[in-house]
Chain A
Amino acid sequence: MSQIEYFWIIIVLLFGVVGIVRTYSRELGVTTMCVAALLLLLQFGDKILMVLQDHFADDFPWLISPRFAAGFYVVVFLIVVFISYQGITLVFKGSAPKGAVSHLLGLIVGLLNGYFIAGTVWFYLHRYDYPLGLVDGSDLSDVAQRIIQYLPPRIFEPQLGYLLGLLLVLLILSVWR
């Protein structure tokens, strides 16, 4: 039995710890970028894939493989995450005051980022039946299958307008202080 749900929970918890260390003013910037990346992938991901496959699949047949599709979503999302953590960081103006409440907020926002990042990666790997071969999709536990129902793309896909609204709120908040 694959224990992907344990792995996922551990990764989310680790992002929570990272949230405490980095403070929530930095973590909210990552949340904003995660929301933007998720919105773009949900809105345009399939269209971009289709364009690539329509135009280049004759010359590059591997473009129509599930491995490429999963890799496309995961890599694009992780590149955005990498940039938001390591490169051009969107840091909210103002500084978080010291204290337990700030640590708690850092933990919550860090967990939220972990949920967005690990959840999105898991969702797209699951959607394409784990083409990297590390997990057997038919052997997932009931818990894993239930968690998949609550991963970010699954929740937000039906109504992207809400995600767009959240992105606008976060962008306004980023320059508030």
Chain B
Amino acid sequence: MITVYIVILLALIMAIFGIIGYQRGIWPEVVSLVVLLASFTVVEKSPQRLIDYMNGLFIGMMLVLKSGLNDLNAGDLESAAHKLKAVEPPFVGGQKGFALAVVMVVMAIIGYVLGRWIKSKKSVFGAALGILNGYILSAAFLPWLSGLSGSDLPVPLIREGEGLVTETGRQAGEAAAKLTLPTVLEWLSLEGGLPLVLLIALLAIFAVWRMRPKKA
């Protein structure tokens, strides 16, 4: 069962990325989308290879920190091998997902930094692309973070799935459906939507009335 909190978290991440996307505009978001999609494909299709690389990178770094390079320079291969064996690969078992999440976050940062080179004006479609970026990033790391199945957050052509189904949401929806129709909605849709039209017109009149004339 997926809690409604996961849905809220997903919506929150997508909303934040949507706002960032709006501020950045279309083209920087396209760059981020391409980078994210490419890295998501690699993460999805060859996760074990990526985890091996990450473990190798970590072990190599630890070897350098433990002055293993000095041993190699000095020709002391046995000592270097001993130090190498002493380093435990960090991304094993339940931590494998962490490696993939790190890769996705790093690639997301790279994508967003690359996007900074491109000048673009604020755009609602940048917001839409930002939402998409937020979803892809969430699809990569939320399953690991929350214990979701990957198929709960499908990405067409890359990851198949059935979509997010929330037991809590379903129950809430059914409960809401049993309620009588909200009177206000019924009223707004009366007479071909006349009350709704009047409400929108009044709102627009009030909004324009509050505006200041533009300075010449």
Contacts and interface: CB of A to CB of B under 8 A. Distances in A.
Interface of A: 1-3, 5-6, 10, 13-14, 17-18, 21-22, 24-25, 28, 31, 82, 85-86, 92-97, 101-102, 105, 108-109, 112, 141-143, 146, 149-150, 154-163, 165-166, 169-170, 173, 176-177
B118 to A, nearest CB: 16
A117 B163 CA distance: 23
Contact of A1 (B165, B181, B206): B165
Contact of B197 (A21, A105, A162): A162
B30 interface: no
B163 A158 contact: no
B193 A169 contact: no
A71 to B, nearest CB: 17
Contacts, number: 136
Interface in B165-202: 165-166, 169-170, 173-174, 176-177, 181, 185, 188-189, 191-194, 196-197, 200-201
A143 B185 CA distance: 13
Given A86-B124, A97-B212, A143 B177 contact: yes
Interface of B: 7, 11, 14-15, 18-19, 22-23, 122-125, 127, 131, 163-166, 169-170, 173-174, 176-177, 181, 185, 188-189, 191-194, 196-197, 200-201, 203-208, 210-214
